[in-house]
Structure 1
Amino acid sequence: MKSNRAQKGRGGKKHLSTELKYSHQSQNINGFEEGVEFLPANNSRKVEKRGPKRWIVLLALVIFFILLSLMVGILVWHFNSQNARMQKIFNGYLRITNENFIDAYENSNSTEFANLASKVKEALKVLYNGIPALGPFYKESGVTAFSEGSVIAYYWSEFSVPQYMVEEVERAISKEYVLSLPPRSRSLQSFNVASIVAFPTDARTAQTTRDNSCSFSLHARSGEVTRFTTPGFPDSPYPARARCQWVLRGDADLVLSLTFESFDVAACDDIGSDVVTVYDSLSPVEPRAVVQLCGTYPPSYNLTFLSSQNVMLVTLITNTVRRHPGFKAVFFQLPKMTECGGRLTGVQGTFSTPYYPGHYPPNMDCTWDIEVPRDKNVKIRFKIFYLVEPNKNLGTCTKDYVEINGEKFCGQKPQFVVSSRSNKITVHFHSDRSYTDTGFFAEYLSYDSRDPCPGMFTCKTGRCIAHNLRCDGWADCTDFSDELDCVCNSTYQFTCKNKFCKPLFWVCDGLNDCGDNSDELQCSCPAQTFRCGNGKCISESQKCDKRDNCGDGSDEAKCNSVETVPCTKYTYKCLNGVCLSKGNPECDGKNDCSDGSDEKNCDCGLRSFSKQSRIVGGQNSDEGEWPWQVSLHAEGQGHLCGASLISSTWLVSAAHCFVDELGIRYSEPSLWKAYLGLHDQSKHSATGVEERGFKQIIRHAAFNDFTFDYDIAVMELDKPVEFSTVIRPICLPDSSHTFPAGKAIWVTGWGHTQEGGTGALILQKGEIRVINQTTCESLLPNQLTPRMMCVGFLNGGIDACQGDSGGPLSSVENDGRTFLAGVVSWGEGCARRNKPGVYTRVSVLRNWIKEKTGV
């Protein structure tokens, strides 16, 4: 392989009510007498002006008391909530400057440990009581460990804080203190404490400070490797809902190297995942976390971490009941790097971050002063560059970075070059106290400033490229400087609005090749219409109407609704004969067929290892990353072709691998051996690798060894294989399954790493993309058939090559399940420009595979 998201109801009878009213009547001649009469309520408006009705007064009183009660309740709630106490635990450490570390301090049960811990707790009490924001809420402290320097004490402190004071308490605790108050205890008269720091602690981690049921303490021995595992590893899963920790120590003035040789815990998610954290400290505080790990990693993944001192803390917090074996780890001590960086001279050389390719230690500063001969200038070429921190925006470079010529570099970068204007250059590397990465590997080179790239074009970045790559439409310089200020050749180039030159056959291919989409602006269909995959324009109303109006099925391929539709070659057909409108419904985790047939036989396409290493292109794969990849060896010739495992007994490969030639009967099953679970071609007998022979080889009867049409074959193993972490089948796509142009797909194999080169020992992988069929036909005129698909990059650089034939073209779908999109078939050379690889389209031949294998 070449590498380069309510009205209330009314009811009851109407009735007449009366009210008592007072009325002044005319006095009669017989004397003065005040008259009293009862008047109907409906005549009340005829009498004198009156006060409010009784029910209104009662209603007003009720409302008043309700509002008063509500206000009182709110005030009580507000008072209680503001004064509600919260338990806050802070983890921290402090330095005791007038004590020397002794071995007894490693044992938390020793008298010496208890005596010193008592002094630390009293000192903390004195300190907190002298701080108004902390003293009233302080409850207690505990000491968990000591280490060298003179003596560093690691502790936790508990506070009971009113809710309204939480932020103020956290601000106060985050400051660094020196105990300078007059001692209030005789035991503190000669006790000097400095650098008292503490940090808010995850409540889950805080529990480990008081529970020693899953707590371990290990000390490295000189010249020896110490191993430790999660409880029960590997025969039983680690405990559910556990809080475990491992205290790792080395001798004074040494550092620790920790490697996880096997790692399998519950998969990472946002809700209660299990997590392993490594700290460059014996206190589990976030600012000293080196790495957080969850999920599953292949054995080949780089999980080596260095400390900046002679201690490390490993914690495991489990919140699930999922069954996973956990981890196996080793650690040892090694000398602390006394000098990082240095002076480099000569014409060229290399340098890297400390302990590369392991993760560099935290809290490091390295400076390299590089000087080449006086008549030359110097350039730095970073071949590997990984300075990434989690949950952080790239580009700001405030934590870990490389600084050259006043400019800082960080994050993940492909190869890049930095040049000087003299024969000297200074490279400074800085890592802070927290998360680390694998760092960089770089080389320095000397060059003539008058002609930095003899016979070549010089990018503004300092990179040298061939002159014929200038203005060819490809950005060979990472800063696009080779494509700036170009005059396009109108005969075979298109001039983008941004002045880039692109090949004419890229125009209207459905991809934004210019970057400003100007190559596709005149190709879109009119408003209220849909553009088919073949370029045809149809009415928007015809999209997802259960008919193939485009002629290529593209108007029905991405319909989210699941409806019964007339069967065509572009629709998915359930076992009961019903066809669905939904595109690619098989094995997507949803029962779309009424008989559930779309989710049957779906134990495929899933990897045991959820983590993948970072991709630059065409690089070593991780062990178990492609468990369906098979290596086919011919007797006396070693690896010749690849294949894909589709069941416990059947493989899929390319027909051309089994064509007899030069007197060798490649069509004979007994000539072949299949190696499953293989990662390194030099380790056929490695653990997990299975060897099988063939019972039969079935090539497609229509295979044409001149055109390579129908280039597919299936092989039956002489005995079934058992699935494992490194051996699993890939899913076969339905005949209606689509792989749209632009989709990212992976090609894997042990083939040649460059045209005319030699095969690889380690399984190679490369991410490539499906190329528009119309574009591909223009590049390979009269050579493609419906059974073929083009996948790759038109600018070359990543491609299958000799020895990859028959191997899988793996398409990872949204749910992480992988489908066999194609089989490596043929191509003109390897990784050439405008010569993409051609692959057998498996979906078109799906029924043939079913007929021959039953899979």
Structure 2
Amino acid sequence: MDPMNSGMRYTPKSSDKDWDQAVTFLPASDGSKLEKKKGPGKLGTIIGVVIAACALSLIIGLLVWHFHFRQGHKIKKLYTGSMHITNQEYLPAYEDNNSTEFQALAKEVEAQLKDMYSKSPQLSKYYVDSTVNAFSQGSVMAYYESEFHVPLSLESSINDLMSKSQRSSPGPSGALIFDTMETSAVDSRIFTKSSVQRFTARTRPNQAVLVKSPGFPDYPYPPNTLVQWQLRADPNNVIKLDFSTFYLENAQDCKNDFVKVYDSLAALESRMMAEKCGYYSPNDPLSFISSSNVMLVTLATNEKGEYPGFRAQATQVMKGSREVACGGLLTGTSGSFTSPNYPKYYPPLTNCEWTIEVPVNMNVKVIFSKFMLSKNEPNCPKDYVQVNGERLCGTLQANTVRTSNTNKMTVVFSSDSSLVDRGFDATYVAFEPTNPCPDKFQCSSKRCISLELRCDGWNDCGDNSDERNCKCDTSMISCKNGLCKPMFWKCDGVDDCGDRTDEMDCASCKPDEFVCGNGKCISMKQKCDGHNDCSDNSDEADCGRASIQCTVNNYVCKNGQCLSKVNPECDGVKDCTDGSDEDCGDCGKQPYKTSRIVGGQEATEGEWPWQVSLHIKNSIHVCGASIISDRWLVTAAHCVQEDPKFKLNQASSWEVYLGLHNQKQLEKAEKRLLKQIIAHPNYNEYTYDNDIALMELDQPVAFKESIRPICLPSATYSFPAGKEVWITGWGATREGGVGAQVLQKAAVRIINSTVCDTLMNGQLTSRMTCAGVLAGGVDACQGDSGGPLSSVGTGRMFLAGVVSWGDGCARRNKPGIYTNVPKFRAWIKEKTGV
């Protein structure tokens, strides 16, 4: 190596503390020479004047540069627009940019644009040129880009001026006549790319056009690239764009890579239907419909990241067909209706009107089970549903109800030219005006619920109207705000009343005692001493990150350092001096955007990548499990006990499916066999105590977006009462029912162990965790056993529990019981090394 190329590439400047050793300081021989002078002298005065003059010149120069050159600095601005030309007939040749006809008309449009801008004093001095990119029918729509070099200080005013709709003025014979122009500034992220690719395609009846990102599916899409697809359909048709795969970088506000879909052949922001990035599951695909026979799809990427991209197909749909039709007369005592293309995205510029007519002497009730319209603004000026003169927009609570005062109701749906959404799903029923909820309670929202749910402590209406004006009996907590809550929630550490009434007077602790979250009293000296004296870790919360003497209740770093902080691992904060608390790898990360599960909902494909399906070999799913490493799974011990019919304690009896979503699509998952099964030696088949087991795969699995491990909590990890956790599985969706085909998910919450033990008649042990919705309706069930109870940490999921047992499924006041994973952390590490 050349010695001149080794070492530092620069010489650091010396500081006051690092004296240059080449300088020698000599003693002064005459102290008087070092005394301060009384004045600068003539030479000093001259030097001072020169310096002042230079400084003044510099200041004047800077001011001139700022107010003249800086303010005059120009930036490139691109504006895209559409022009409706009324005195031209559309020719098929206009679809070919290289045709003589296209180039001739494009030249006329560009000349007319130049002439129009030249007549504007505000625009003429900054105009560069215009380019026509496409034409479409009606009579002729011209799509163009105009370039301006605009002073930075005038950017906003030029934007406003360009966005105003314009009409042509009478011109010479043969000039183009257009009624309106629509113009907007081009997104700066689009025209700054180093590579640009443009494609055109035309749909035909019963023929699909393939639209996919460059390189898909063999390679990731290229960086710093703009790709545009101009799509056309036959006259009197609209374009339907269905994405079968969509996987781009997921960044906030889609600031890096994104796809924009326009209801136009130009990138007009006022015609942008959607801007999307991240991942969309095939089970919840993106699908858009245009308002006319044109559509523009734009992909823009930044310099970083490698992602698969997307695949979509464009087809044409006749206007007025069932896919896009809406409105009409609805009769009878009940029925249903939806926005066009529901549950996919409704088209822009849509207007529908339904007239609902039920038998005389009856009124109409409309229930919106789903309601997702874009642009939630006051008075709903853009997309809206209008019922009885009231406009609804944005996202509404499930089962929102509206009623009429007669036997007729009119429902209007309207969307503007941009930003579409999923729409709505609605049903209507006829009801007698004097009895809107037969044998039920009517909520303030007009919903009807069972009379048994009135004043039971649960917000069944969604607006608490079923819990107002109640008289609490002795078995309930009488909250100061007038609500009644079940007595078993008293002093459980969770504010169920909403005003902390249920958490007051929980312990008569002395002044020198600390009140635990569970109501227990301990000495104040025991707070933050490193011991879990409260049993719920509340005495060790908010204790800082200082190192302390190690105990079994403290998190231990790899270098032996002990922390008093609760749940320090993988929270984004480096608490250990060696950083080992943040050495988490990819565990617990949900790769996609956006229940066992009774009362739950279907999961998105790949949403729970640590979920495993355990099948008896050559048979059906019987239990769940969780991935904790590339070789090891965690499940329930009761799943692997020897059975009279099957030897479930033997590895050869099982086959394992990873990355599975649909039980009828096993071929899409990765299948593995087992090398060994290790059930906990102290498992009790009668009490389900120590209900945990480990499974080793016969060969390691390679992690990918749909297969990755969940984070294992440390032995000291705390999952407090009230914390939301998730249960997932393919188990029965109701008690006594059959297993789910598609993976289900549901949110529940951790329930105080003392309360839970009371509810479960004293059957809880310290190695069990309680979770559920005590109102009932959401729970794990048969077939979910062994699956994960997933808890959200700081951006990661931790394995809080393993589905173990319960009293029925989703019964009121009967929560699910889960194996407490932190209690088995040492055992898991001993057996697996994880």
Q: TM-score, normalised by structure 1?
A: 0.87
Shift of residue 54, structure 1, vs aligned partner? 12
Instruction: Provide the residue aligned with 1:273 in structure 2.
Output: 256
Q: Deviations over 1:493-528 (max 9, x none)?
A: 122222111122323322221223333355598999
Q: Is 2:818 the partner of 1:835?
A: no
1:62/1:572 Cα in 2 relative to 1: closer, same or farther (>3 Å)? closer
In the TM superposition, what whole-angstrom CA distance separates every residue of 1:284-312 from its partner, at most 9, and x where no partner exists?
A: 12221111111223332221111111111
Alignment of 1:135-534 (within 5 A): 135-183=124-172, 189-207=174-192, 213-269=196-252, 272-337=255-320, 339-389=325-375, 397-412=380-395, 413-489=397-473, 491-522=474-505, 531-534=515-518
- Provide closer, same or farther for how the CA distance between residues 76 and 786 of structure 1 changes in structure 2, counting only shifts above 3 A: same
Q: 1:543 to 1:330 in 2, by over 3 A?
A: farther
Deviates more, 1:144-153 or 1:698-707: 698-707
Indicate the structure (1 or 2) with the bigger Cα radius of gyration: 1
- Provide the C-alpha distance between the structure 2 equivalents of 1:575 and 1:58, rounded to a whole number of angstroms: 65
In the alignment, what sits opposite 1:43?
Answer: none
Q: 1:464 to 1:270 in 2, by over 3 A?
A: closer
* C-alpha distance in 2 between matches for 1:98 and 1:541: 90
Q: Distance in 2 between matches of 1:586 and 1:395?
A: 44
Alignment-derived partner of residue 127 in structure 1: 116
Q: Does 2:829 correspond to 1:847?
A: no
Q: Which residue of 586, 611, 627 maps to 2:593?
A: 611
| Residue aligning to 1:45 | none
> Quick one: distance in 1 between partners of 2:577 and 2:459?
51
Alignment-mate amino acid for residue 13 of structure 1: E
Q: What secondary structure is seen at the aligned counterpart in 2 of 1:705?
A: coil
Q: Indicate yes or no: 2:706 matched with 1:684.
A: no
Per mean C-alpha deviation after superposition, the further-off stretch among 95-104 and 655-664 is: 655-664
- Indicate the residue corresponding to 2:20 in structure 1: none
The residue aligned with 2:606 is: 624
Residue 675 of structure 1 is matched in structure 2 by 657
CA contact (8 A) 1:246 1:314 kept: yes
SS of 1:734's equivalent in the other structure is coil
Q: In structure 1, how many angstroms separate the alpha carbons of the residues matched to 2:790 and 2:655?
A: 23
Paired with 1:702 and 1:17, the residues of 2 have a C-alpha distance of 95
> Offset of 1:840 from its aligned partner?
0.7
Correspondence for 2:14 = none
Q: How many Å apart are 1:742 and its aligned residue?
A: 2.4
The change in CA–CA distance for 1:565 and 1:127 in structure 2 (over 3 A counts) is same
Aligned-pair CA distance for 1:544: 4.4
Alignment of 1:19-98 (within 5 A): 66=55, 70=59, 73-98=62-87
Unaligned regions of 5+ residues in structure 1, if any? 1-9, 20-52
1:639 aligns with 2:621: yes
Residues 77, 543 of structure 1: alpha-carbon distance in 2 compared, 3 angstrom cutoff: farther
Structure of higher RCO (CA pairs closer than 8 Å, 6+ residues apart):
1
The one-character-per-residue Cα deviations of 1:531-557 (angstroms, maximum 9, x if unpaired) are: 533334678897545555645433334
1:622 Cα deviation after fit: 1.4
- Partner Cα distance (2:533, 2:692) in 1: 31
- 2:722 alignment partner in structure 1: 742
Tell me the SS of whatever aligns to 1:83.
coil
Does structure 2 conserve the Cα–Cα contact (< 8 Å) formed by 1:276 and 1:317?
yes
**Using the alignment, how far apart are the partners of 2:434 and 2:510 within structure 1?**
54
1:739 shift after superposition: 1.8
Seen in structure 2, the aligned counterparts of structure 1 residues 118 and 207 have a Cα distance that, compared at 3 Å, is farther
Q: CA deviation at 1:728?
A: 2.1
Which range is displaced more, 159-168 or 802-811?
Answer: 159-168
Partner of 1:786: 766
Conserved 8 A contact 1:585-1:592: yes
| Cross-structure match for 1:108 | 97
The 1:112–1:548 alpha-carbon spacing in structure 2 relative to 1, beyond 3 Å, is same
Tell me the SS of whatever aligns to 2:501: coil
One-letter amino acid matched to 2:731: G
Q: For this pair of structures, how many residues does the alignment match?
A: 797
Which stretch of the first structure deviates more once superposed, 636-645 or 593-602? 593-602
Secondary structure in 1 aligned to 2:94? helix
Deviations along 1:711-731, one digit per CA (max 9) or x if unpaired, are 111223344333333222222
8 Å Cα contact 1:395/1:411 also seen in 2: no
Of 792, 799, 803, the match for 2:779: 799
Corresponding residue for 2:16?
A: none
Corresponding residue of 2:17 = none
More displaced stretch, 725-734 vs 93-102:
725-734
Structure 2 equivalent of residue 49 of structure 1: none
Q: Partner of 1:487: helix, strand, or coil?
A: coil
Q: Contact 2:572–2:794 at 8 Å: present in 1 too?
A: no
Q: Which residue of the partner structure matches residue 733 of structure 2? A: 753
Is 1:770–2:750 an aligned residue pair? yes
Q: Which moved more, 1:87-96 or 1:61-70?
A: 61-70
Superimposed CA distance per residue, residues 671-701 of structure 1 (whole angstroms, 9 cap, x where no aligned partner): 333222221112222x3x1233333332212
Per the alignment, do residues 718 and 449 of structure 1 end up closer, same or farther by CA in structure 2, a change over 3 Å counting?
Answer: same
Letter in 2 for 1:749: G
SS in structure 2 at match of 1:133: helix
1:726 matched to 2:711: no
Does the aligned pair in 1 maintain the 2:533–2:539 contact within 8 Å? yes
Deviation of the 1:660 alpha carbon: 4.1
Change (3 A) 1:11 1:293: farther
**Structure 1 pair 543/90, CA: closer, same or farther in 2 (3 Å)?**
farther
CA drift of 1:277 comes to 1.0
Separation in 1, partners of 2:90, 2:177: 14
For 2:562, the equivalent position in structure 1 comes to: 579
CA distance in 2, matches of 1:528, 1:316: 65
> Does the CA-based 8 Å contact 2:570-2:794 persist in structure 1?
no
- Seen in structure 2, the aligned counterparts of structure 1 residues 581 and 366 have a Cα distance that, compared at 3 Å, is same
Q: Secondary structure at the match of 2:732?
A: coil
8 Å Cα contact 1:272-1:320 kept in structure 2: no
Distance of aligned partners of 1:470 and 1:175 in 2 relative to their CA distance in 1, 3 Å threshold: same
Cα distance, 1:825 vs. partner? 1.0
What is the deviation of 1:143? 0.9
Q: Which amino acid aligns with 2:35?
A: K
- Contact 2:196-2:225 at 8 Å conserved across structures: no
Q: How far apart, in 1, do the equivalents of 2:57 and 2:524 lie?
A: 62
The alignment's C-alpha RMSD in Å is 3.1
Q: CA deviation at 1:341?
A: 0.6
Match of 1:5 in 2: none
Contact 1:590 1:599 in 2 (8 A): yes
User: Contact (CA 8 Å) 1:275, 1:316: kept in 2 or not?
Assistant: yes
The question of whether the paired residues in 2 share the 8 Å contact of 1:621 and 1:765 is answered with yes
Aligned to 2:550: 567
Which of 35, 43, 46 in structure 2 is aligned with 1:13? 35
Alignment partner, residue 651 of structure 1: 633
Report the TM-score, using the length of structure 2 for normalisation. 0.89
Percent of pairs with identical residues: 49
- Rate the CA distance shift 1:529–1:312 in 2: closer, same or farther, 3 A: farther
Q: What is the one-letter code of the residue matched to 2:640?
A: F
- State the AA in 2 paired with 1:221: R
Shift of 1:58: 9.8
In the aligned structure 2, how far is the partner of 1:481 from the partner of 1:79? 66
